[in-house]
């Protein structure tokens, strides 16, 4: 089968890879219907992480083509959406809603490919109510990671009725954090963005205010908009020192920061954090927790998170997709077959 391999930073190729087969009886094999490039794929692309012939991709929707002997909830032919982490969904951690930290949690072996083996298929995949209309596929694909992650960030930030929410980061996750905040009842949603096209999508998803300033200036603007107090809930969707401090400082005492940007070279100063009085929660999103609800919202056409895809390319042109995201010509690239 064909699949994307990152040989070294910046060197992305589509190559022949072995078609995966069932290894464990809890596995399923799926034929990928659509996949995409993640903001986190840019970390190795830019050399912050160190890829070495790494199969890429962890977002996917597709059709089950084969199931292991122990798979109980899925049938060959099911259309499925899965989380970017495989989880058994039965352990104590999963049952508490933290499937991304399942005691059996495992990453996926590259879903930017024609087929993928999904471990713990019962615990990882969720079937859609039927075969989706083609126009629903981008949104279902978004549920696999960026929507699930933005949703988790909003939940982690305790977004709710009547609250003011600020969102740090205008990538796909930040934008879908806005969508989630809107769905979860936020009264006011402040998007921090300086890109006109992303501001437009932010407003479409529910942002009521835009702040273009960053860092401490951005924090000052958030305070001005919140009676000097800061936001009740802040979604952090970048993962740098600056963005984390911006999120913490933009949150009122007793408020909540939900952070989902993968932290790189971040050290949080203990004393400032202590006196901030904020709640901090985040990490790799337990997307599986939210998948049934998100699939239903998409199926019922109540949300349209697929709008974050602003470039669609065939898998064979994956390298161009990486370039477009790296150069910020695209927010999120969908790969088709």
- Residues in contact with a copy of itself by CB under 8 A are 92-93, 96-98, 100-101, 103, 227-229, 239, 241, 244, 252-254, 259, 262-271, 273-284, 286
Do residues 149 and 239 touch, judged by C-beta distance below 8 A?
A: no
C-alpha of 27 from chain center: 23
The nearer residue to a copy of itself, 201 or 238, going by C-beta atoms, is: 238
The nearer residue to a copy of itself, 211 or 245, going by C-beta atoms, is: 245
Place of tokens 């769905």: 183
Q: Compute and round to an integer the Cα radius of gyration of the chain.
A: 19
Task: Tell me the angle at which helices 196-205 and 172-183 cross, rounded to the nearest 10 degrees.
Answer: 20
> Smallest gap, in angstroms, from Cβ of residue 108 to a copy of itself?
17
The nearer residue to a copy of itself, 136 or 285, going by C-beta atoms, is: 285
User: What residues have CB less than 8 Å from 135, skipping those under 6 apart?
Assistant: 306
Q: How many residues would you count in the chain?
A: 337
> Smallest gap, in angstroms, from Cβ of residue 174 to a copy of itself?
16
Cα 23 to Cα 16: distance, rounded to the nearest angstrom? 20
> Smallest gap, in angstroms, from Cβ of residue 6 to a copy of itself?
20
The nearer residue to a copy of itself, 31 or 101, going by C-beta atoms, is: 101
Place of tokens 């992480």: 49
> Smallest gap, in angstroms, from Cβ of residue 222 to a copy of itself?
15
The nearer residue to a copy of itself, 30 or 285, going by C-beta atoms, is: 285
User: What residues have CB less than 8 Å from 26, skipping those under 6 apart?
Assistant: 68, 70, 71, 88, 119, 120, 121, 122, 123
Closest CA relative to residue 61, chosen from 3, 116, 12: 116
What residues are paired with 221 via a beta bridge?
none
The nearer residue to a copy of itself, 42 or 266, going by C-beta atoms, is: 266
> What would the two tokens of residue 40 be?
């986190």
> Smallest gap, in angstroms, from Cβ of residue 188 to a copy of itself?
14
> Smallest gap, in angstroms, from Cβ of residue 327 to a copy of itself?
26
> Smallest gap, in angstroms, from Cβ of residue 88 to a copy of itself?
14
> What would the two tokens of residue 264 be?
């790189």
The nearer residue to a copy of itself, 98 or 290, going by C-beta atoms, is: 98
């Amino acid at each position: 089968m064909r699949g994307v391999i990152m040989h070294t930073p910046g060197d992305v190729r589509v190559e022949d890879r072995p078609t995966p087969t069932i290894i464990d009886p809890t596995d399923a094999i799926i034929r990928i219907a659509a996949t995409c490039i993640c903001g986190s794929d840019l970390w190795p692309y830019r050399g912050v992480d160190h890829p070495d012939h790494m199969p890429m991709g962890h977002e996917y929707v597709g059709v089950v083509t084969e199931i292991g002997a122990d798979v109980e909830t899925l049938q060959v032919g099911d259309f499925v959406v899965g989380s970017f982490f495989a989880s058994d969904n039965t352990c104590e951690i999963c049952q508490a809603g933290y499937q991304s930290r399942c005691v059996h949690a495992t990453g996926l072996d590259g879903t930017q490919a024609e087929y993928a083996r999904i471990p713990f298929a019962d615990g990882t995949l969720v079937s859609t109510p039927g075969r989706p209309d083609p126009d629903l596929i981008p949104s279902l694909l978004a549920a696999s990671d960026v929507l699930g992650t933005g949703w988790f960030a909003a939940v982690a930030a305790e977004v709710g009725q009547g609250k003011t929410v600020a969102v740090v980061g205008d990538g796909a996750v930040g934008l879908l954090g806005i969508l989630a905040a809107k769905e979860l009842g936020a009264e006011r949603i402040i998007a921090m963005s300086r890109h006109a096209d992303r501001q437009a999508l932010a407003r479409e998803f529910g942002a009521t205010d835009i702040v273009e300033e960053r860092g401490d200036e951005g924090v000052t603007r958030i305070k001005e908009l919140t009676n000097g107090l800061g936001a009740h809930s802040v979604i952090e969707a970048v993962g740098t020192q600056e963005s984390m401090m911006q999120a913490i400082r933009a949150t009122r005492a007793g408020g909540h920061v939900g952070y989902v940007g993968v932290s790189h070279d971040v050290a949080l100063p203990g004393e400032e954090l202590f006196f901030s009085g904020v709640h901090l929660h985040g990490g790799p999103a337990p997307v599986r927790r939210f998948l049934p609800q998100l699939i239903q919202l998409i199926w019922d056409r109540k949300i349209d998170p697929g709008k974050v895809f602003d470039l669609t390319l065939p898998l064979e042109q994956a390298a161009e997709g990486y370039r477009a995201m790296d150069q910020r010509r695209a927010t999120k690239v969908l790969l088709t077959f």
